[in-house]
Amino acid sequence: MTQNLKAQKCLSQYLEKNVELILQGTILGHLPSGKNQYGISKKILYKQAPIIGYEKDFLPQAQVLKNKYKIPQPLEDMVVAVYAKIYFRDYRRDVDLILFCDLLQKSLILKNDRMIRVKFIDGIHVDKVNPRIEFELYDLHE
């Protein structure tokens, strides 16, 4: 069973409804945790280096996916699920999709990351050479 069908079947069973694939892709690079990568200076919140670097890598890759799936405007007026496989450099990371979801909004794939109501993480894997996140976005038709 392909990754796409496996995710679609899993989501359909869990949600007891049909879901529709919107976008499928891979973003290369080590996904930093969104929790501890912000600093405060003089009451101003700022991003630390790992987030800035990941953002610079993420945005051009997201643009390629937008073009491939013909998404000219940010998606809106839908409820979205994310199915993700995360490949870290090592197991010493907390798993969260906070930064990933924020960047889906910043890259103008989604109008607002609050549209994401369901997040499935299909395990944590280690790939020291090629860290990445393989993901699929689904419309939940709500």
* Confidence class for position 135, pLDDT limits 50, 70, 90: very high
Contacts of 52 (CB under 8 A, 6+ apart): none
Q: Note the pLDDT of residue 124.
A: 81
Q: Which two tokens stand for residue 32?
A: 């930093």
Residue 85, phi-psi category: left (phi > 0), alpha (psi -120 to 50), beta (remainder):
beta
Lowest-confidence segment of 71-75, 77-81, 95-99, 112-116 by average pLDDT: 95-99
> Whole-angstrom Cα distance, residue 49 to residue 112?
24
Q: Note the pLDDT of residue 115.
A: 93
Mean pLDDT to the nearest integer, 39-52: 67
SS3 of residue 85 by DSSP: strand
Q: Note the pLDDT of residue 128.
A: 93
Identity of residue 1: M
Q: Note the pLDDT of residue 43.
A: 64
Backbone angles phi, psi at 91, to 5 degrees: -90, 5
Q: Note the pLDDT of residue 59.
A: 95
> Whole-angstrom Cα distance, residue 117 to residue 73?
20
